[in-house]
Structure 1
Amino acid sequence: MGEWKHSLFGCFDNFGICIITYIAPCYTFGKNAEAVGDSCLLCGAAWLVPILNIVAWIQVRGKIRDLHKIDGSLLGDLLQIVCCTVCALVQEAQEVQNAPSSVGIVRE
């Protein structure tokens, strides 16, 4: 199992993602969800609904960890989501940004 490419407090490793996430976190969350095969629109909308946003986020963060073989747990994800909201979202966005897509359509 591996580690995150960017630390939780590595928000400024990519200043553009940091600013977009601070202004429109629902957009970043939707794009992160899309990177793991979920609906960008539905997850972005779920971000705006209390409790549903946490449930959806735990699922998306778990999928990112699974796809990239990153150590972690549901409790650790929940603590990071609740205590460091923007930083956790930026960390996920940086992880999926340059990664080869694990989810997609295969064309022959």
Structure 2
Amino acid sequence: MGEWKNGLCGCFNNIGICIITYIVPCYTAGKVAEKNGESCIMYGCLSTLGCIGLWSMTKIRGMTRESKGIEGSYTMDLLMIWFCTLCALAQEAQEWEDAPAGAGESMARE
């Protein structure tokens, strides 16, 4: 099993993702969900709903971990989302951004 390519506090490694996540976190949550084959709009909206948002972002973080072969657990994902929501979202988005060509769409608009 692997590790995250960017640390939890490495959100400044990609300043574009960092700014988008800190201004409109529901956008980043939706785009990360979309990378995992889920609905961007639905998960973006769910991310704004308190406990439901915690559950939905934790679920998507787990899906990202599994698809990237990253070690972890549901409990650790929940703690990361609960206490470091914006950093965790930026970390996930950067994981997809750093993927090789063809492994998913870019987070940036074309």
User: TM-score, structure 1 length as denominator?
Assistant: 0.90
1:101 aligns with 2:103: yes
Partner of 2:17: 17
Deviation at 1:101, TM superposition (A): 2.5
Partner of 1:83: 83
Written as runs of structure 1 = structure 2, the 5 A alignment for 1:1-108 is 1-99=1-99, 100-101=102-103
List alignment gaps of at least 5 residues for structure 2: 105-110
Deviation at 1:45, TM superposition (A): 0.7
Deviation at 1:65, TM superposition (A): 0.4
RMSD: 1.1
What residue identity is the alignment partner of 1:47?
A: S
Partner of 2:108: none
Q: Is the 8 A contact 2:46 2:52 kept in 1?
A: yes
**CA separation in 1, counterparts of 2:45 and 2:79?**
22
What CA deviation, in whole Å up to 9, does each residue of 1:32-77 have, x standing for no partner? 0000000000001101211111111111001000000000011111
What residue identity is the alignment partner of 1:101?
A: A
Greater C-alpha Rg: 1
Deviation at 1:98, TM superposition (A): 3.0
In structure 2, the residue corresponding to 1:2 is in which secondary structure? Answer: coil
Task: Give the number of aligned pairs.
Answer: 102
> Aligned residues: percent identity?
50
Deviation at 1:93, TM superposition (A): 0.3
User: TM-score, structure 2 length as denominator?
Assistant: 0.89
Partner of 2:107: none
